[in-house]
Chain A
Amino acid sequence: MSDQVVAFDSAPATGLARLWRGAAARRFRRNRAAVVGLVLVLLLVLVAAFAPLLAPYAPDAQNLRARLRPPSAEHWFGTDEFGRDILSRVIFGARISLFTGLVPVFAASVVGTLVGLVAGFYRGRVDAVLMRLMDVLLAFPSLLLALAVVGALGPGLRNAVIAVAVVGVPGYARIVRSVVIAAREEEYVQAARALGAGDGRLLLRELLPAAFGALSVQATLGIGFAILSMAGLSFLGLGVQPPTSDWGEMLSRGRRFLPDSGWLLLYPGAAISLTVLAFNLLGDGLRDALDPRG
């Protein structure tokens, strides 16, 4: 038990812990843009959670007598070419959007963190090989890498999620590696090692928490980026497939009805922009709060 106590007491105030402990939280609260971002994200989560209650119609309910209707009292955002209610589809699209934002970021951060931990902790040849691999992934423009993965695996939601996750991995790996390299020489890590902590324990209990702050910033900004990338893939017809309510897919179909049916484009596009903006504001706010020098 003694090593736990030592490790806990001497651990620096890191990441999430610091966020809750006063100074960083105060800085965050004072940052109006960051608070707006947080509120927008919370709203999005609520809309996604209560979509069936909020949507006036079922997202897939077709009404062929009300095709391509402009916004009205009955259909606030208008209807599409099958007479489906755009507002309801935009509301349900929040679910897919959150899913396609969170899942790739979660997968990428888990894999990237493992790579970064191992590379930074063991250094030497393991580090060299892993980091060269990350360099190669970074040598591709991100959307191109996603397209390469979808090109190999085939279009579809699952493969697009994998693609966007692959794009994210090197970012997390690099961040975690740099934190680990700096932290492994710190006294609290040396102390835990001297008390007999094994590699696994050092990595997960001592070094990983040190990276939480940087990871949370990268992940929040990553969600916005993932949503944007997924919307792009779906727009190209390579991501979410019809009839699922997805903002990118709605834009892809809606553009065929230009210029007469502009509302088909306006609302899904605004929804994507607002969502990505919210995560960007939140991510920037987190970064400023956790690292006041930055």
Chain B
Amino acid sequence: MTLYVLRRLVALVPVLLGVTVLVFVMLWLAPGDPVLALLGETAQGLGREQLQALREAYGLDRNPVVQYFDYLGGVLQGDLGTSVRSSQPVLSELLSRFPATLQLAGAAMAIAILVGVTLGVLAAVYQRTVVDYLAVVVALLGVSVPVFWSGLLLMTLFALQLGWLPASGYGTWRHLVLPAAAVGISSSAFIARITRASMIETLRADYVRTARAKGVPDHGVTLRHALRNALLPVVTVVGLEFGGLLGGAVLTETVFAWPGVGRLLVDAITSRDLPLVQGAVLFIAVVFILVNLLVDLSYALLNPRVRYD
């Protein structure tokens, strides 16, 4: 297992380097002078000589390759630059917002797994019945309905009309319910689909038939024999779905005024705060990559055959 973990970690290095290259290149894609992009409005109206001086001060006149390694060196030491808008270090801004996003993503993931696996199992056990069709419809709606719209509908109904939960803000579990439900239900669709397919296959397996023949009651077969094995492919999907979930979180944070990294990123894009945009993109991408690593490792833990591939 240690060898497997090491191999997976080594395989991550080129991807992580590639991600930093892309994030670095963002500065050069920005229209106009990179100095203006880095400094934002503070650099507007400066003369050509002042801009040149700033360019030299920021090292933007050097070879781009040198600049990249300089940037990479900074990133490795936790220096993601300085926000144009707040003049705060980008990393500390991100870290102050991260707990909120982590809470939202964690709660949403829990809801997504609970709803997705339940729907998938019900659809598989009651295949080709009303339950199955309903589950398929719910799963289809989950991938078709925009998460910001379902979020707005949930907010209108449960917060503004019924008054059961707060419409926006952050702090208590009551604030968490609606945004987490919006993201979680939307992410549950794919999980339901995979669970259903995997469960149908497992229910046909020989050992399940044997268990039935031996007189194990239905729910015992479903839960103890079939579900445990059917969940293996689901674990992989959960990792993949986490990306969609992070995207959903960006949108949902805006709907519910949730003070997370996603909303910080959107505000940074709107105010053209490029260092903060770059930092947030890098941060979220790294979190996504690490979560997928953890998912892969847990998969290997659950299914020893993977380790020897």
Which residues of A are in contact with B by a Cβ distance under 8 Å? 132-133, 135-137, 139-144, 147-155, 224, 228, 231-232, 235-238, 248, 251, 255, 258-259, 262, 265, 269, 272-274, 276-277, 280-281
Contact = CB atoms under 8 A, between A and B. Distances in A.
Contacts of A139: 15, 18-19, 285, 288-289
8 contacts: A139-B285, A140-B288, A142-B247, A143-B250, A259-B156, A269-B152, A274-B144, A277-B140
B269 A150 contact: yes
Contacts of B246: 141, 143-144
A235 B243 CA distance: 19
Residue of A133, A148, A262 with most partner-chain B CB within 10 A: A148
Q: Nearest 10 pairs between A and B by C-beta? A: A143-B247, A136-B18, A141-B243, A259-B160, A269-B149, A277-B144, A151-B277, A152-B26, A152-B29, A276-B144
B281 interface: yes
Interface of B is mostly: helix
A235 B148 contact: yes
Nearest to A151: B277
Given A141-B284, A258-B155, A276-B144, A238 B266 contact: yes
Given A144-B285, A153-B30, A154-B30, A232 B269 contact: no
B251 A232 contact: yes
Nearest to A141: B243
A104 to B, nearest CB: 16
B149 A251 contact: yes
A228 B146 contact: yes
B229 interface: no
Interface of A is mostly: helix
B15 A235 contact: no
A155 B31 CA distance: 11
Interface in B133-179: 140-141, 143-149, 152-153, 155-156, 160-161
Contacts of A132: 14, 18
B18 A143 contact: no
B108 interface: no
Nearest to A272: B146
Nearest to A276: B144
Given A143-B244, A238-B269, A258-B160, 12 more contacts: A140-B243, A140-B285, A141-B247, A143-B248, A148-B26, A148-B277, A149-B29, A152-B30, A224-B144, A232-B147, A236-B254, A259-B161
A79 to B, nearest CB: 19
Contacts of A140: 19, 22, 243, 281, 285, 288
Contact of A255 (B244, B255, B270, B285): B255
Interface string B253-285: 011000000000110111010100110010011
B23 interface: yes
Residue of B149, B153, B265, B272 with most partner-chain A CB within 10 A: B149
A151 to B, nearest CB: 4
Nearest to B26: A152
A245 B152 CA distance: 20
A147 B269 contact: yes
B41 to A, nearest CB: 14
Contacts, number: 149
B18 A148 contact: no
B153 A269 contact: yes
A232 B160 contact: no
Given A232-B146, A259-B160, A280-B144, A155 B281 contact: no
Contact of A136 (B15, B266, B278): B15
A59 to B, nearest CB: 20
A175 B74 CA distance: 37
Interface in B30-61: 30-31
Nearest to A281: B140
A154 B274 CA distance: 10
A276 B243 CA distance: 19
Interface string B75-107: 000000000000000000000000000000000
Contact of A151 (B160, B281, B288): B281
B15 to A, nearest CB: 5
A274 B145 CA distance: 8
B23 A148 contact: yes
Given A142-B247, A238-B270, A147 B18 contact: no
A68 to B, nearest CB: 16
A281 B145 CA distance: 13
Given A148-B26, A150-B269, A154-B272, A273 B15 contact: no
Nearest to A153: B29
B149 A151 contact: no
Residue of B26, B248, B277, B281 with most partner-chain A CB within 10 A: B281
A223 B251 CA distance: 20
B137 to A, nearest CB: 10
Contacts of A136: 15, 18-19, 21-22
Interface string B222-251: 000000000000000000001110111011
B244 A135 contact: no
